[in-house]
Structures are given as structure tokens and as C-alpha cells.
Homo-oligomer: A and B are copies of this chain.
């Protein structure tokens, strides 16, 4: 029954920032992580085989001046199996309850990446769905606010599409409330983009928010697919981190991931770096685009962090397709050209409130698209 020893097999290597400046203390913490995240047993209560095959291996510990240390612990892939939930348990499950441990980097073995699969569409696939070539970024907007009737939301959906917005997604708070129930909303909003397509020669897509009860997830995605939607929006941490993988495997539709609840993990001293959670784990789970709160808007992420998220989503990672970064969270319409020049065309810009503030959605959307086109051709 025993697992065969695989001392030379690929391992998951995790780099932690530890909030202590003393090397021997850091070594103790690293060993504690190696035990806590695997056997959860004190020293001396397991045998040499378990130590060798199961317990995390402390690979390296060094001082990170002035007041932290850096530790690398590697894990045997059999301790993860092939499930995203167990990956998350192993990465941060119990140590979330400790203090001053931050995951700064992860080296992903190809075997693990292949097993999770990553995006089904990725940047190229999502471009193809929208009919937009690689010369400009995509534009996305959100249907809001909750409390509007289905008819009013569908009208906004139509107007945004007619103005040339490529992706129109539900606000992440639109669930199945009585003002705009899910089934009715999906039908009417999908009809609205079809109408805009027929009228304006535009190709805007509608992505409904399927965030909701686990028991209704399948039905909601099915309903969206049956209505003709090519993708959906989901908040992975709200429904469950494995939900993205499940949707892509089961339905093959594109998935935009919303960062709701993710900020809990972004404490400077404890948690996961945003670029690891949003830029790698969300991508590995299958997100074709990952929404994050851009700097300079309503949220406090720095530009450095935003660029790191962009980089992790796009860069080569085993056989995984790249995902679209989707900066959002209060980007002003007037600042979009700036961000287009900063982040480049492999980006989806999500503009919500500041488009609504303009009043005429069709006109404001068309103007925005023109501005983006102009900004994108500037060398």
C-alpha cells in the first residue's frame, strides 16, 4: 500500500516570507510549516518513510533584511493529488491561522500544471470569441446596479454592446434577487446583445454572473449556455476555488473570475501575494480573464502589484494558456488611454461606474472604444 519513494520526482516549491529576522527562529518556523501543512503531527510521532515522502522539505532559509526571513519549502506532489482544494489546503490551510507567513512565490511542476489544465480559451481564445485582433485591448463593462429590473439591465446591456463594448458582464452582486432573477436576466440580456449585434454590426458578448449556491451552479451555467452565452462570470472564492475548473471542464465556456473576498489574503505580512492568488492560482484553476482592482481607483493595490498580476497571468507557465488581466475598480474613462499605453493590448479594461456617469451609454461606449483604438496604435 505504501507510496513508492520518489526522492527525485518533481516537487512543488513554495517561497514564504516570514515575519522574523532571526535565522534560527525562521528555520524553526519553516520546519513547522513543513509539518503543519502535511502530517500535522509533532516531531517523533511518525516514521522515517513519512518524514522522507510526506513531510515538506525545508530547502532554504535566509535572512531578508531588515526584518524578515525567506524560506523555501518543497512538497511531494502526492500530498496534493490532483485537486485544487487540497492544493489550497496544503498551501495555506492551517498556516492561515498562524501569523506573519506570506506566500511570495511558487514553482509549479509541469505535472501539476497539466493536471489542473488552466484556461480553456485564454487570451487568444477570448479574442477570437470577441472578434478582436491582437492590436487592441478588449473593453468590458458591468451591468449594474442591483435593484434595477431585468428590463432596465437588458437595456443597459444593449446600449453598451451597441456602443462597442466587447464584454458585458453582470455586476458580481447580481445573483438571483427578485428584482432581476437569474433565468430572466440571462435570457433578456443575451437577447439584448443579439439585438445590438443585428443593429450595429458589433460583436459584444454577455457574461452572466453564475455565483450562487453550489447546487444551482450546473443549472445556471447550462441556462447561460443554452441562451447562447459564450462565457460566464464567477467569484471563485465565494463559490469555491474549484468552481472555475469545473465550469471549464464541464461546459467549455470562457470564465471571467471576480476577486471578491480575495483581499482577505493580501495583508502585507500574512497571506498570499496578490500576483500569486489572482495571477497564478486563478489562472491555473482555469480563468480566461482575472478581474483585479487597478491602482489609482477605489482600491489600494500598487501599480507594481498590478503589473506583477499582469505578468503572472500572461507569462509562459508550462503548457497553460495565458489569461487576460482585467484591471477594474474605478478606472476613469478619461484615464483609459493612459492605462492602455501602460499595460498594452493583452489586457481587458473593465470600466463601470465612470461610463454610467456619462449618461448616454451608447455614445460614451463608442467614444471610449475610439480612445482605446487611438491609444493602442501609438508605439
Contact = CB atoms under 8 A, between A and B. Distances in A.
Contacts of A242: 213-215, 239-240
B261 A96 contact: yes
Contact of A214 (B149, B150, B246): B246
A329 B97 contact: yes
Interface residues of A, number: 96
How many copies of this kind of chain does the complex include? 2
B179 A40 contact: no
Contacts of A23: none
A243 interface: yes
Contacts of A241: 238, 240
Interface stretch (A11-19, A61-69, A341-349, A352-360): A352-360
A146 B38 contact: yes
Contacts of A99: 300
Interface in A211-267: 211-215, 217, 235, 237-243, 245-246, 249-250, 259-267
A341 B51 CA distance: 37
Interface of A: 1-3, 32, 36-42, 44-46, 49-50, 53-54, 78-81, 83-86, 88-90, 92-99, 142, 144-152, 171-173, 175-180, 211-215, 217, 235, 237-243, 245-246, 249-250, 259-267, 270-271, 293, 298-301, 329, 352-354, 356-357
